[in-house]
């Protein structure tokens, strides 16, 4: 389940009706789900994205990215970036903590921080 889309739907909105920006929605999600491990994923597009974005910010909740602009890409951060923005020039970083579990945590220990 994409929690960003669910948050908009709970307000009776679709993305086209949302008059905020990505960072506002990401911040809302962090507050709505503060009982879970949360962080922000900041993506910088030095040459601009295909959409014309210079940056994009999304929430990471319980180890998965939740992005209303990219529904269907609720993956861990590295996979999200690779699959949501294939071939784009970008830089990304995680602000906060991300808790991964099981084999994924063992395989990725220290890689995201």
Q: State the DSSP string of 37-76.
A: -EEEEEEE-TT--TTS-SEEEEEEETTEEE-TTSTT----
pTM over 0.85: no
Which of 64, 51, 56, 67 lies closest to 93, judged by CA? 56
DSSP code for 109: T
Q: Which domain holds residue 98?
A: 3-108
Q: Is the pLDDT higher at 112 or at 97?
A: 97
| Domains in the chain, number | 1
Residue 17 has pLDDT above 50, yes or no: yes
113 occurs within a structural domain: no
CA distance 90 to 87: 9
Instruction: Find the helix packing angle between 22-32 and 3-10, rounded to 10°.
Output: 90
pLDDT in tens, 69-90: 999 999 999 999 999 999 999 9
24 occurs within a structural domain: yes
């Amino acid at each position: 389940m994409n929690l960003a889309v669910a948050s908009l739907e709970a307000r009776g909105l679709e993305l086209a009706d949302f008059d905020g920006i990505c960072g506002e929605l990401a911040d809302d999600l962090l507050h709505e789900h503060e009982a879970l491990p949360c962080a922000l994923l900041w993506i910088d597009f030095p040459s601009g994205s295909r959409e014309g974005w210079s940056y994009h910010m999304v929430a990471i909740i319980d180890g998965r990215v939740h992005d209303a602009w990219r529904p269907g890409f609720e993956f861990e951060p590295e996979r999200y970036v690779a699959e949501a923005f294939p071939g784009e020039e970008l830089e990304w970083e995680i602000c906060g903590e991300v808790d991964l579990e099981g084999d994924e945590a063992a395989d990725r220990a220290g890689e995201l921080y």
